[in-house]
Amino acid sequence: MTEPQHAAGQHFRGDDWYGDDLGGARFVECTFTDVDLSEATTTGATFERCTFHGGRFNASAHTATAFVGCDFRRTSFFGASLDGCKLVGSTFSECVLRPLTVTGGSWLGVTIRGTSLARVDLSGVDLREADLSLSDLTLATLARARLDRAVLRGTTLDRTDLRAASLDGVDLTAAVLTRTRLDLAGAVLLAQLHGAEVDTTA
């Protein structure tokens, strides 16, 4: 089956788009049920307010593609690559998100609860207002990431690299910190959250 380049309000069920090049396709308010997008590629594509039930993005590659306000349920991104992609306002539930290669991009307001992101490199990614509650970020890299007002309630930050990350409005005390890597600013924030008065002029 040949995939459409533009679709709105359609329901795709069990389609095989394995290895297809979707280019800059645009999908608005579409539902994808058990669609196989393994090894598919997109460049500048747009998925707006789409729902993905099941299905696979395994080893797929996406460049400057937008998944805006999308709902992913039980979807696998095993071995996928996201380069400069926009995931603004999207929700991931019971999804496989590792291993995953991420280069920059905006994940503003994403919801990824109770998911393993262990060892995933999210350096420099915009994760402002993201909800990462109860997720496992063991050995993940969030260096230089923008985490302002992100929710880290019960999030495992075991040996997670948060150096140079922006943490304004983040309650690190709600997370599970074990040998978490912080720079001076992050360490000061954590101390202040624990009630310390930090004199940086001393």
* Alpha carbon 185 to its chain's center: 24
Specify the 3-state DSSP secondary structure of 150.
coil
171 is written with which tokens? 């309650």
Q: Please report, for the chain, the start and end positions of each structural domain, with discontinuous segments joined by +.
A: 8-97, 107-196
The CATH number of the domain covering residues in 8-97: 2.160.20.80
Please tell me the predicted confidence (pLDDT) of residue 200: 65
Given a cut of 50, the residues of the chain with pLDDT beneath it are 1
What is the pTM for the complete model shown?
Answer: 0.91
Query: How long, in residues, is the chain?
Result: 202
Judge if 8-97 and 107-196 fold alike in CATH terms: yes
Are 126 and 106 contacting, i.e. CB atoms less than 8 angstroms apart?
yes
Please tell me the predicted confidence (pLDDT) of residue 199: 67
The CATH number of the domain covering residues in 107-196: 2.160.20.80
